[in-house]
Structures are given as C-alpha cells and as structure tokens.
C-alpha cells in the first residue's frame, strides 16, 4: 500500500478544511447551539422527559448525529468534486495510488472532520445540559462508522454531481429530512402506529437509535438491529464506490 500517497491526499484535504474554520466549525456549532436553545429550552419546558431522560439531554445524540451525517456527506462530496471540476482528478488517477488508496485519503479526511465536529458539539452540549455517556466506546464506534459510511456516500455524490447545485441537493433535500424524521427530536413511541411503521424504513433512524443507546442505554429498537443496518449501509456504499472505479463512471469522461 502506498501510505505516502494516502497521507498526501489526507493531509491536503485536512489543510483545506483548516483554512476555512469559520465555515467548517464555527457555523455548525452556532447552528447546533440554536437547536439547544429553541428545542431544549422552549420545547423542553413542555416535554420534561422521554424514556426517563431529560428532554434537553435526549436530543443531544440526535443533534450530534445530524451534524455528523450532513458534514461528512458535504465534506466528502466537495473533496472529490472540486478535483473533477478543475481537472486535477486526472493527475490523481495517473499517480501511483490505487482506487482503494484514493478513497482512503478522501473518505478518511471527510470522516475525521465529521468526528472532530461531532466531539466539539458534544463538548458544547455539556454547556447546556447535564448528562453522562453510558457506553463511551460504543459512542465513538457508532460515530466513526456513521462518519465513514456517509463520507462514502458523499464521495459517490461528488462523483455523480455535474454541478455545484447537485452537491447540496442530496444533503439538504434527502439526508437532512431523513435525519429530522428519524427521531432526532423525539422517540418513535410518540408517533401513531402507522408512522412508526413508516419510520422503520428510514435508514437514519437506526443510526440515531444506536447512537442514543450509547448515551443512555435505551433505544427505540434493538442495538443489534441498528448495528446490522449500519453494516449493510457501509457494505452498499463500498460496493457502489468499487463499481465507480471499476467502470470509470464520470472519472474517465
């Protein structure tokens, strides 16, 4: 494996991120803080507890997962789209690095950014609510798996998109609505039975449920089922990326 090539791609993407800290970190943290103020304080005054957890603390895992999902998707999609847009992707494809190493560099950087942001938001949350993490190792595991999976998804979007408007289409019109409807601010037990069934078809629901279990030891669905679904999403994303490099889809045009 060409580790030097992987490190070069990874370092380049991380350096680009650090050059735009205001947009990359400050903006998401401020946005999340507003969620805590609006939902945690305003709605929390009416909903005291859910499953024995104070409402302000209950929404923390969902908000962290919301940011990890959107940021990993956006960072990975822009990371590979810009070389395609500028034409420098051909230099990467001609370099002595394999497809796997290219994916490791871009996806690894995007996942790292999302995990750092998730941890920053977790630290920010402690300023608003008191909470303890029941399973910190599993919390980091689920965060990492989610960041990697959606970074792969963002990588696919960056290959598929033929314009900047398409880069924001999937994160804003698909990923974010699925996150909001996947139990970010509520338990599905609060929904009518028909909507509970519909929610089970939302893939993001399983991510949020497992992540919330790592915090409080309770979840809307078994953690084993959630872990199996996460593994399935990861396998599908890897299969699609492998197909892209095997066929040269939008890379050799």
Q: Provide the residue-wise pLDDT of the chain in tens; the chain has 253 residues.
A: 778 888 988 998 898 888 777 677 888 888 878 887 777 666 766 777 888 888 888 989 999 999 899 889 989 998 899 888 887 878 887 888 888 889 999 999 999 999 999 999 999 888 888 888 999 999 999 999 999 999 999 999 999 988 887 887 877 888 888 888 898 888 888 889 998 999 999 999 999 999 999 999 988 888 999 999 999 999 999 999 999 988 888 776 5
Residue ranges of alpha helices (H) inside the chain are 3-18, 21, 27-35, 55-86, 89-94, 99-125, 136-160, 164-170, 176-180, 193-199, 203-216, 223-247
Bridge partner list, 34: none
β-strand partners of 53: 50
Q: Which residues pair with 49 in a beta bridge?
A: 54
What are the two backbone dihedrals, phi and then psi, of residue 29, each rounded to the nearest 5 degrees? Answer: -65, -40
């Amino acid at each position: 494996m060409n580790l030097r090539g992987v490190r070069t791609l990874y370092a380049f993407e991380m350096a680009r991120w650090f050059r735009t800290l205001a947009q990359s970190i400050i903006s998401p943290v401020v946005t999340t803080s507003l969620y805590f103020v609006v939902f945690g304080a305003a709605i929390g005054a009416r909903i005291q507890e859910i499953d024995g957890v104070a409402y302000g603390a209950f929404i923390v895992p969902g908000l962290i997962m919301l940011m990890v999902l959107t940021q990993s998707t956006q960072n990975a999609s822009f990371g590979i789209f810009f070389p395609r847009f500028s034409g420098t992707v051909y230099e990467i494809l001609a370099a002595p690095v394999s497809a796997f190493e290219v994916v490791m560099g871009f996806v690894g950087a995007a996942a790292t950014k999302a995990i750092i942001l998730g941890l920053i938001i977790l630290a920010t949350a402690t300023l608003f609510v008191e909470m303890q993490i029941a399973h910190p190792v599993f919390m980091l595991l689920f965060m990492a798996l989610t960041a990697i999976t959606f970074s792969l998804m963002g990588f696919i979007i960056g290959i598929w998109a033929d314009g900047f408007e398409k880069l924001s289409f999937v994160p804003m019109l698909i990923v974010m609505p699925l996150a909001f409807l996947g139990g970010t601010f509520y338990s599905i037990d609060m929904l009518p039975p028909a909507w509970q069934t519909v929610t089970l078809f939302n893939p993001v629901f399983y991510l949020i449920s497992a992540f919330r279990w790592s915090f409080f030891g309770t979840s809307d669905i078994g953690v084993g089922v959630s872990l199996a679904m996460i593994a399935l999403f990861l396998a599908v994303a890897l299969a699609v990326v492998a197909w892209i490099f095997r066929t040269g889809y939008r890379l050799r045009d």
